[in-house]
Amino acid sequence: MSGLTLRHPTMRELHRLALDRGWRVEQHGAELHWFNPDKTVNMVVTPMSPGDHDRGLANSVAQLRRVGLDIPRRRGMPESPEQLPAQQPAAELDPFVRSLADLIEEELARRTANLESQVQELEDRATALANDNADLRQKLKDCDEGIEQRAEQAALAAVREMLAQRRVPR
């Protein structure tokens, strides 16, 4: 089917490859029907443009391989890390991408500073609460000592009063 318009480049390559190998490809709605020249093999149905491109394409390729379409492994992909293209330097990036990256970096820096500020504030609050707790413990200890002294004084006063009441004046 030569009038077929496929948006996804890998799907176009698969279509071209299938036609070159004698396959017939038909469009039915948003699906492609792939017919092997060997009429004894069932057709394969794939989406025209897979939604999850990586997984969808991998599934389509696997289906076509299973029914006999000879698709080279890792077509167009380097076979070793040395063949990978060098990463593009930041200066050569598209200005839009660079400005977007700068905005993201600024936002991350702002959020990081905000989080660090909040952490510092929480640490300060924790220190203040620990100091308040220590002060309250000391006050409670002082109160306990004061209460003990008052209790002793009250007990002595009560004993003196009892002794005074027992004495009989002459």
The per-residue pLDDT for range 17-73, each reduced to its tens digit, is 888 889 999 988 888 899 988 888 888 888 877 665 667 777 888 888 888 887 777
Residue pLDDT, tens place only, 90-128: 556 678 888 888 889 999 999 999 999 999 999 999 999
161 and 112 together in one domain: yes
pLDDT given for residue 79 in this prediction: 39
SS3 24: strand
Residue 82 lies in a domain: no
Q: What is the CA 40 to chain-centroid distance, rounded?
A: 48
The answer to whether 38 touches 68, Cβ cutoff 8 Å, is yes
Q: Residue 151 pLDDT more than 50? A: yes
The letter for the amino acid at 43 is M
Q: Which range among 35-39, 117-121, 142-146, 160-164 has the greatest average pLDDT? A: 117-121
Domain that holds residue 114: 98-166
The answer to whether 1 touches 27, Cβ cutoff 8 Å, is yes
70 and 113 together in one domain: no
* pTM greater than 0.85 (yes/no): no
**Domain end: 42, 74, 106, which one?**
74
121 and 69 together in one domain: no
53 and 109 together in one domain: no
pLDDT given for residue 77 in this prediction: 41
The answer to whether 6 touches 15, Cβ cutoff 8 Å, is yes
CA distances in angstroms from 34 to 2, 26, 71, 113, 118, listed in the order given: 13, 7, 14, 56, 60
pLDDT given for residue 116 in this prediction: 93
Helices (H), the chain: 9-20, 53-66, 95-166
Q: Residue 157 pLDDT more than 50? A: yes
pLDDT given for residue 52 in this prediction: 58
The number of domains in the chain is 2
Q: Identify the DSSP state of 72.
A: -
